[in-house]
Amino acid sequence: MNDVRSVPFFNYPRLWRDEEPAFLELIQEVGRRGAFIMQQDLRDFEAALAAYTGASHAFGVANATDGLEICWQALGLRQGDEVILSSHTMLATASAVVTAGGRPVPVDMGEDGLIDPAAIEAAINPRTVGIMPTQLNGRTCAMDRIMAIAQKRHLWVVEDAAQALGSRFKGRHAGTFGHAAAISFFPAKVLGCFGDAGGVICNDAALHAKMYALHDHGRDQVTGEVVCWGRNSRLDNLQAAVLNHGLKSYGKVIERRRAIARLYQARLGDLGELRLPPAPDSHPDHFDIFQNYELQADRRDELKDFLKTMGIGTLVQWGGKAVHQWERLGFTCRLPKVERFFQRCIMLPMNMFLTDDDIQYVCKNIRGFYGK
Ligand SMILES: Cc1ncc(COP(=O)(O)O)c(C=O)c1O
């Protein structure tokens, strides 16, 4: 345990290597069928995604960014319409609003890093048409509060569930509270494939039909007739086959991540220099899948550099900036909680490939850094 070992933040080659024979067989099987676009594997995955989340409708898209844009387009976002979102999210959340014709309004975060419902209420004005909460790091927002605000003010809700497949609030899956949601299957996601991929879910048949047409050249899913202008944002059938494979063991993957989070909590929970994310099972309303393990740390940059010398990969999310801090995009607001958070936040390795010894090694080095 004293030697430097390599604990990368994420190990992309292992995504393939750990199950190489199964993937080779799967690709061969799909290839021999010539099943590349809109085939059975995709239909199976769409059905499985709906069944897993409890949504009544689901379809694959090329990536979650497209999925979010399609949600807003289908709802009818118009030029100048404002959508409130957390500033602690990927820029994709905001860009989906812009490319759909609206204006993103980033607001401050709460203690748990997720969008602050009080900040949402404070930002509502006559131009506001919607809210887009990000189910960040695999934790679902307190959606009862957010939905109550939306209902009272007649606002649309699109959930950015890119990081949250399987995460639940009060037993209900992320992505099933609002009008629609998008999920990402980027390789490093808890359910990831071998490229860009995403899914859109919703509980409204008419909205599903609109969104479905938008992602496939405007073609109606049932009749094949063109019913509107659209685009091509289809999920490749081969990627859908990879996702079907991954979904079979998804429960185990989530449990392993939660076990890693428990280990981090047990080994680091006493350090006053750190502020850890909520532990699994710490709140009965939340079931978190730990897409990321993001904490706040004193002397964050020094800690990051030190861990690097010890072979440990870490990441500061979104390249170190919250949405409103990309000033060249025209934002002028100040959001003190998010800004303070971005001076201190760091993500530790969190994935299926880590052993308990890896986690012990990471924790031992963090303790050593703080002289504990
Ligand atoms: C919170 C959030 N929103 C949106 C996205 C965009 O997803 P995609 O890369 O599938 O377009 C991501 C991807 O990392 C994300 O983490």
Q: What pLDDT digit, counting tens, does each position of 154-203 carry?
A: 999 999 999 999 999 999 999 999 999 999 999 999 999 999 999 999 99
Residue 3's pLDDT band, with cuts at 50, 70 and 90, is: confident
Q: Is the pLDDT of residue 1 over 90?
A: no
DSSP classification of residue 147: H
Cβ(292) to ligand 1 under 6 A? Answer: no
For the segment 24-52, the average pLDDT, to the nearest whole number, is 98
Mean pLDDT, rounded, of the chain: 97
- Which pLDDT score, from 0 to 100, does residue 343 have? 98
Q: Is the pLDDT of residue 216 over 70?
A: yes
Chain segment 241-294, per-residue pLDDT in tens:
999 999 999 999 999 999 999 999 999 999 999 999 999 989 999 999 999 999
Q: Give the burial class of 92: count Cβ atoms within 10 A of its Cβ; 0-12 exposed, 13-18 middle, 19 or more buried.
A: buried
**And the tokens for 226?**
């063109």
d(CA 215, CA 108): 32
Contact 55, 161 (CB under 8 A): no
Contact 132, 68 (CB under 8 A): yes
Q: Which atom of ligand 1 is nearest to the CA of 160?
A: 3
Burial 289-315, CB ≥16 within 10 A → b, else e:
bbbbbbbbbeebeebbebbeebebbbb
Ligand 1 centroid, distance to 17 Cα (angstroms): 24
H helices present in the chain, as ranges: 12-17, 20-33, 40-53, 64-75, 91-99, 117-123, 143-153, 205-215, 237-248, 250-268, 300-309, 336-344, 356-369
Question: What is the number of other CB atoms lying within 10 angstroms of the CB of residue 18?
Answer: 12
Ligand 1 centroid, distance to 93 Cα (angstroms): 7
Place of tokens 């494979």: 245
Cβ(93) to ligand 1 under 6 A? Answer: yes
Cβ(317) to ligand 1 under 6 A? Answer: no
Q: Who's near 336: CB < 8 A, 6+ residues apart?
A: 108
Contact 240, 221 (CB under 8 A): no
First to last CA, the chain: 17
Which has the higher per-residue pLDDT, 355 or 1?
Answer: 355
Q: Which atom of ligand 1 is nearest to the CA of 189?
A: 14
d(CA 133, CA 148): 13
Q: Which atom of ligand 1 is nearest to the CA of 67?
A: 11
Q: Is the pLDDT of residue 47 over 90?
A: yes
**And the tokens for 290?**
């730990």
Q: Is the pLDDT of residue 299 over 90?
A: yes
Cβ(184) to ligand 1 under 6 A? Answer: yes
Q: Which atom of ligand 1 is nearest to the CA of 198?
A: 10
**And the tokens for 103?**
């204006």
Helix axes 91-99, 64-75, angle to 10 degrees: 40
- Which pLDDT score, from 0 to 100, does residue 99 have? 97
Chain segment 133-157, per-residue pLDDT in tens:
999 999 999 999 999 999 999 999 9
The strand order across the sheet containing 168-169 reads 172-173, 168-169, 286-287
Ligand 1 centroid, distance to 79 Cα (angstroms): 24
Q: How many CA atoms lie within 13 A of 352 on its CB side?
A: 22
Ligand 1 centroid, distance to 183 Cα (angstroms): 8
Top mutation candidate among 163, 193, 289 for ligand 1, by most atoms within 8 Å of CB: 163
Cβ(162) to ligand 1 under 6 A? Answer: yes
d(CA 28, CA 307): 41
Cβ(53) to ligand 1 under 6 A? Answer: no
- Which pLDDT score, from 0 to 100, does residue 2 have? 57
Alpha carbon 76 to its chain centroid, in Å, reads: 24
Residue 219's pLDDT band, with cuts at 50, 70 and 90, is: very high
Cβ(186) to ligand 1 under 6 A? Answer: yes
- Which pLDDT score, from 0 to 100, does residue 68 have? 98
